Structure 1
Amino acid sequence: MLLVMYLHIRITPKSKKDSIEQTGELRYAVTVTEPAEDNRANERMCEVVARHFSVERKQVHIVNGHRSRSKLVEIRE
């Protein structure tokens, strides 16, 4: 059985450290050290989310907001 979870994420690139904090039901604030250039911040955010939810990186996908600080992220298990 395929389980899918959707998260609303507000990302802050170029931070001092990588972190994830729950701000509401299925809402998270993520900070990453990578800059918002060449998709680096998005990739790092997906890695941080995958580590937090104990899933592989390939199970985390950005559904909406590739060029925005507010993103809709899908996790498939």
Structure 2
Amino acid sequence: MRDINDGVEKDRVPASQTTTSVRVKVTPGASKEVFTKVGENSFEAFVREPAQKNMANRRVCELVAIYYGAPPEAARIKTGHRSRNKIINVKL
């Protein structure tokens, strides 16, 4: 009888389940859009969108996802929904 796990690497996590957390300092309503890496998992984002109706948050999530080569819906705010300092999870 064959074991169901034969040939499967047990320590390997599928790419679709890997999540990275990053810190982002956001400045909404900027005159020009800039997204810069300031540390290993830290970024600074200047976005044109105002901090109203979740517009700036959505744009920051898009920028983080683009940086990691993931689709826009792969980035979600974990903490800091109403703060300039945010922690964003990205599914890679």
- The superposition leaves residues 31-70 of structure 1 with CA deviations (integer Å, 9 ceiling, x where unpaired) of 1100000101001111111122211011000000000000
Q: Confirm or deny that 1:65 pairs with 2:80.
A: yes
Give the match for residue 25 of structure 2: 10
Per-residue deviation, 1:12: 0.5
Question: SS of the counterpart of 1:15?
Answer: coil
In the alignment, structure 2 segments of 5+ residues that lack a partner are 1-13
Whichever residue aligns with residue 90 of structure 2, its letter is: I
Q: Distance in 1 between matches of 2:51 and 2:19?
A: 27
Given the two structures, how large is their TM-score scaled by the length of structure 1?
Answer: 0.94
Whichever residue aligns with residue 52 of structure 1, its letter is: Y
Per-residue deviation, 1:13: 0.4
Q: Distance in 2 between matches of 1:15 and 1:28?
A: 16
Given the two structures, how large is their TM-score scaled by the length of structure 2?
Answer: 0.79
Give the match for residue 31 of structure 1: 46
Calculate the aligned-residue CA RMSD, in Å: 0.9
Structure 1 stretch 63-72 or stretch 13-22: which is displaced more? Answer: 13-22
In the alignment, structure 1 segments of 5+ residues that lack a partner are none
